Amino acid sequence: MIDLEILRNHPEILKNEVKKRGLDVDIDSGITMDKKRRSLIFEVEKIRAEKNEASKHIPALKGDQKKEKIAEMKQLNKKLELLEQDLNQLDRQFFSHMAHYPNISHESTPLGKDENDNVVVYHKGEKPQFAFTPKNHIALGRKLDILDDQRPAKVSGARFVYVKNEGALLEFALVQYVLNLLVDKGFIPMIPPTMVKQEAMYGTGFFPAEKTQYYKTEMDDLFLVGTAEVPLCAYHRDEFLPADDLPIKYAGFSTCYRREAGAHGKDMGGMFRVHQFDKLEMFIFSHPRNSWEQYEKLRAVVEEIMTNLGLHYRIMNMCTGDIGNPNAKKYDLEAWLPGQQKYRELASCSHDTDYQARRLNIKFRDGKYKDYVHTMNSTACAIGRTLIAIYENYQTKEGHIQIPRVLKPYMRGIETIKPK
RNA sequence: GGAGGGGUGGCAGAGUCUGGUUGAUUGCGGCGGUCUUGAAAACCGUUGAGGAUUUUUAUCCUCCGGGGGUUCGAAUCCCUCCCCCUCCGCCA
């Protein structure tokens, strides 16, 4: 949600933003609706005031005078009813139109059309060198029986996997390692609900823009979240957060569900692009005053995790055409996957300024001053893809996989994953 | 799933049967002040959110779990949904 003040007093900012992102949103019709809506509100409230005034006097009236007044009010109600109907309809139109407005991007977000215009900020770590041709995670995983992407066809269909044996152990090692690191940094560990109401999806900005990407339950009108960002953000819906408590930092673990609509044929096989995966997500509610500093710190945390796991990656500054509607800025962390000989997205770190806070009505109070909080989120560890990166980067000539140093304490003494 | 009870302002808790000037009594908490070396206590004052008009000042509207209805008028009456509590059933 955007501040209405921008629409009313600086519509050119919004129009420019829509253009920068290559969106098709008609700001002018929004302006027209808003004007009409406000004049209707004025009319309606005038009549209500008249009614309220009359109600005060009616009990004191007697006989014909009273009958007359009541009859008069009946007439007035008919008029009011019509106006209210118009207003309700217009309100609905206006707000569903507004729901498509994007956030205002940060000045440091590069202008661009699509993923090709994203900017490499820097590389971190060393690209691992292999004296042999490295395999991809699918070959490795099947051979070592730590990943089954075949049998899910019988059970669930395409784009599902069974994570098996040391693979499963490695997931819990990752969770333990990362969660401990985050708790040490002051993040509050959370296991949120993964089924949420439609309002949570709208509030976080995933709806209406990306509605086709998510699963809905048949009987209960609940949606399966694509990330813990949704329940973590909506957790404080309709609340005032004391300024002294900010920033509030959560580390949420959840399964994530994505329909991957429109991704036909992309990344088939293995577990790079699946309908279900587990993820540790960081979410921060911040004072607007220092939210951009918080944001850079947040990026540094994911980087620390990836670095400690010994992964080589690059940080991308995502362009206006490739960030989500709620994002003012977004970094992607792309790790090097030797099996693919490509950098692939492992984490993404977004600053949504007050966009989600407005939609979910989350404010802070600092003495008498009150305002919307800023929200930001970042992947801490997307388990599936991180497993892929570990498999491919830690593989040996024999097709074994070594356990990254920091995960060893959680691996029951296993140092290397070998064929059974 | 069955039976019963309940959802009111930051919290507690009246008001609902008997609809009318009640955005709502009261207590606590918060804020400001008096007093005090300071603090506490006491006393005085103040204290919700959102919206429209407006340069300011100010005026007005909406909100008593959500939605709908009855009425000139609803926190109060009716319908419906949701949530919480107690008991029973079922269950990881």
> Strand B: which nucleotides have any atom within 7 A of a protein Cβ?
20-21, 49-53, 60-62, 72-73
Looking across all nucleic acid strands, the nucleotide with the smallest C1' to CA distance from residue A368 is B31
Interatomic separation, CA of residue A373 and C1' of nucleotide B84, rounded (Å): 29
Burial of A345 (0-12, 13-18, 19+ CB in 10 A): middle
Q: Which residue has the higher pLDDT, A369 or A387?
A: A387
Confidence band of A295 (pLDDT split at 50, 70, 90): very high
pLDDT at A179: 97
Nucleotide nearest to A238 (CA to C1'): B49
What's the rounded mean pLDDT across residues A371-386? 95
**A240 CA from B23 C1′ (Å):** 20
Nucleotide closest in space to A71 (CA vs C1'): B72
What's the CA angle centered on A348, arms A326 and A253, to 5 degrees? 95
**ipTM value for the complex:** 0.85
Region A115-417: CATH code: 3.30.930.10
Phi/psi of residue A111, each to 5°?
A: -75, 135
**How many angstroms separate the CA of A53 from the C1' of B13?**
31
Using an 8 Å Cβ cutoff, are A392 and A140 in contact? yes
Residue extents of the structural domains in chain A: 4-98, 115-417
Q: What is the pLDDT of residues A145-195, one digit of tens each?
A: 999 999 999 999 999 999 999 999 999 999 999 999 999 999 999 999 999
- Domain A4-98 in CATH 1.10.287.40? The answer is yes
Give me the mean pLDDT over the A215-230 stretch.
89
Please determine, for residue A60, whether its predicted confidence score (pLDDT) is greater than 90.
no
Read off the amino acid at residue A221. D
Neighbouring C-beta atoms of residue A206, cutoff 10 Å? 24
